[in-house]
Structures are given as structure tokens and as C-alpha cells.
Copies of this chain bind each other. A is one copy, B any other.
Amino acid sequence: MSNTIIGPALSNMPWEDRPAGSQDVLWRYSQNPVIPRDATPRSNSIFNSAAIPYKGKFAGVFRVDDTRRYMNLHVGHSEDGITWDIEPEPIEWQFDDEELATFVHRYDPRVVWLEDRYYVTWCNGYHGPTIGIGYTHDFKDFHFVENAFLPFNRNGVLFPRKINGKFAMVSRPSDNGHTPFGDIYYSESPDMVHWGKHRWVMGTKPWTWQSTKIGAGPIPIETTEGWLMIYHGVLTSCNGYVSQADQPSARSTAPGL
């Protein structure tokens, strides 16, 4: 029953022990929030951060909503993963096709080291929300690749290595609003541009914390027992959505493995 993470050790990963008496599988950092909502001059809120080890320190891409409520992505850097320096200006993407360059909104990023670069995926506005794919080598120049899917989609998360020779992504098909449904699907691609072989992975469960919709969280973690995907669920109360994050799936083995 031993289960070991596959991958390099992260010796400087910030860590706080489980509180005394707690039996929780995940626990909150006692000094939350790590990122204050006004970490940039015009930010109204900063959240859904995507942090990654970078050159012995940490880099990240952050969702910053400004006071106009524009949602955009900003780069941040940190020595220790706790204290962050968020850039006041959003990332300026380089586009091959100017039609894709029109800004609508960009939010909820994920970052992963994959093959030879850092890939970023996020919810990208293009006639509706879909999954934008881009990359950077240095957290300075960012190249936009393509929207992976037709609208409407959210929570697109790349796997950290090719699976059976293909790039792999999980995502949650949505609608054009606040989406009162949502399951997780798996897709694969030879080139990060064309995606196919879409397969349903897992869905909602009535009368639970994940009764309305679910969505993948951070980059899946490969273990000796399979892929560990941490996902969030949403239930609908009489006062709207209640989101419950950081629930580990027992073990979600990606299709094709």
C-alpha cells in the first residue's frame, strides 16, 4: 500500500505540519492568505494561483482581478514560495494569429514543466470561455499557442508528461454562464494544437459536496499507484454555489495507462 510520488524531490517546498488533533488529509496554512488581495496597485482580488519551482526559487502565474473586474494573468516570483512579488502589469502574450489576441478575460491559470518549457493553461475568453494554451521559457516572454477546445470549457489542466506519446489534458466542458453542471473529461493531442480522443473521466454525485459540478485543480501528481488528481467540487445551496476545494480523489488512473 506504499505510494510514492514519482519525480524529483522538492527540498525547498514550503511546509507546515498538520495541526495537532487534526485528521484531515489536507490542511490550511495557518498564515493565510499567502497572497493579499492588494498585492498589485489595482488588484481587487488575487487567487487561483499557479506556482512552480523555478531556478531554485519559485515562479508563478496568478489570476488578478482588477477593480474594474477585468480578469487577467500576472507573473509572480518568490524566494521561498511564501512571500511573492506580483508584477503590476498583466502578461503580454505574443500571438501568431491576431484574431486570437483580442482580450476578453483570462483567468484560473495552471503552470506545468512539460518536455522543454513551461506551459500555461487558463480559462480564455474567445466568443465564450475555453482553454487557452501558451508557454514560456523564462517567465518573461509568453507565447500563445491555441485554444485547445471550442467554447465552452473551464479548468483545463495538462498532465506533466506525455502519455502514450501524446500530450494529455483534463478539462470541464461548461456553458456560457455560471454552469450548473460539469464533469471531468480527458483529451489528448499530438501537437498541443489539435485535440481529440475525448473520454469522460468522472462526474458529480448527488447529495454531496460535489453534487453540482467538479473540476480538476493543480497539475496531477504521478505516484507509484497511478495519477493523483486533486479536484474541487461545487454544490448548490439556497444561496448560490458553495465550492469545496482540495478533495483528493482516491486514485484516478488516466485512460491509456
Chain A positions near chain B (C-beta within 8 angstroms)? 23, 41, 67-71, 99, 104-105, 125-128, 130, 146-153, 171, 173, 175-176, 178, 181, 183, 185, 187-191, 193-200, 203, 207-209, 211, 235-241, 244
Contact = CB atoms under 8 A, between A and B. Distances in A.
A23 B152 CA distance: 37
B150 A187 contact: yes
Contacts of A235: 69
Given A176-B181, A181-B176, A208-B68, A193 B193 contact: no
Given A99-B199, A146-B196, A189-B194, 19 more contacts: A68-B209, A69-B209, A104-B207, A127-B185, A130-B198, A150-B150, A150-B187, A152-B152, A175-B175, A178-B236, A178-B238, A189-B196, A190-B194, A191-B194, A194-B194, A194-B195, A195-B196, A239-B239, A239-B241
Contacts of A105: 207
A52 to B, nearest CB: 25
A196 B71 CA distance: 25
Nearest to A196: B194
A68 to B, nearest CB: 5
A169 to B, nearest CB: 10
A128 B207 contact: no
A239 to B, nearest CB: 3
Contacts of A239: 239-241
A209 B45 CA distance: 13
A156 to B, nearest CB: 10
Contacts of A190: 194
Contacts of A147: 198
Q: Which of A41, A148, A149, A211 has the most C-beta atoms of chain B within 10 angstroms of its own C-beta?
A: A149
A231 B236 CA distance: 25
A83 to B, nearest CB: 19
A190 B203 CA distance: 31
Contact of A209 (B67, B189, B209): B67
Contacts of A176: 175, 181
Contacts of A236: 178
Which 10 interchain pairs have the tightest Cβ spacing?
Answer: A239-B240, A194-B194, A194-B196, A175-B175, A238-B241, A178-B238, A69-B209, A193-B196, A127-B200, A150-B173
A198 B238 contact: no
B200 A126 contact: yes
7 contacts: A67-B209, A127-B203, A146-B197, A176-B181, A194-B194, A195-B195, A238-B241
